Amino acid sequence: MHVGARPDIPWEIDVTKTALIVIDMQNDFVREGAIMEVPMAREFLPNMKRIVETCRKRGIPVIYTSHVLYDDYDVSPLEVAYNPKLQRNGMRSGTPGIDIVEELKPLPHEMIIYKHRYDAFYNTNLETVLRNIRGFHGVDTVIITGTVTNVCCESTARSAFMRDFKVVFVSDANGGLDESSHRATLSTIKSVFGRVMPTDELIAEFG
């Protein structure tokens, strides 16, 4: 259905033109005691798994991102400056910390975008993948799930909007560091950048 077809929402989801992005659901963010542990990401893991499985059944491409740092040089020096513990450990290339958690393990054909900034579009091939994964310009809508809500997830959602993708931000499938920042992002996205909905509503709209 075209934009503005229903007065209560700006646009409806067309599953034939949609892709799912799973942001940074890697061991160093999700596992208990991990260096960048986000308990809310672990709490919402069952919802993310349900969305992934539903998308696979509906033929919606699933794309993963993984945030990667290096021992040899600071590929993201300002990030490390704000998080000094990352100077020596965490999200290191070649370690299990950058692997997607087993519960959401990518299938062999599913893409993992390795990134060095919060925004998954920045200096990666994510946009190229989205523009072609369902045929030439076949994707016009992206579903954002993962962690951290107000950092990598919000940054990527905003960047998708700037590239004229319709954004679906799943309220109970994005894990934040705390409830207040999580809620603030949901409010911001809902106001100007995309549609915010819970897992049940998203799957129901798939039809």
User: What CATH number does the domain containing 196 carry?
Assistant: 3.40.50.850
Q: Is residue 67 one of the residues assigned to a domain?
A: yes
What is the rounded CA–CA span in Å between residue 87 and residue 76?
Answer: 10
Residue 6 lies in a domain: no
Q: Please, which pLDDT band fits residue 8 given cuts at 50, 70 and 90?
A: confident
Domain containing 173: what range?
15-206
Q: What percent of the chain has pLDDT over 70?
A: 97
Span 152-190, pLDDT tens digits: 999 999 999 999 999 999 999 999 999 999 999 999 999
Residues 64-93, mean pLDDT to the nearest whole number? 96
Consecutive H or E run containing 47: helix 45-58
Q: Is there a domain that residue 193 lies in? A: yes
The reply to whether 5 falls in a domain is no
Average pLDDT, integer, range 86-107: 97
Number of domains in the chain: 1
Is the pTM of the predicted complex or chain greater than 0.85?
yes
DSSP state letters, 148-196: -IIIIIHHHHHHHHHTT-EEEEEEEEEE-SSHHHHHHHHHHIIIII-EE
Q: Is 3 contained in some domain?
A: no
- pLDDT band of residue 1 (cuts 50, 70, 90) is very low
The angle subtended at Cα 146 by Cα 143 and Cα 150, nearest 5°, is 95
In a domain? residue 180: yes
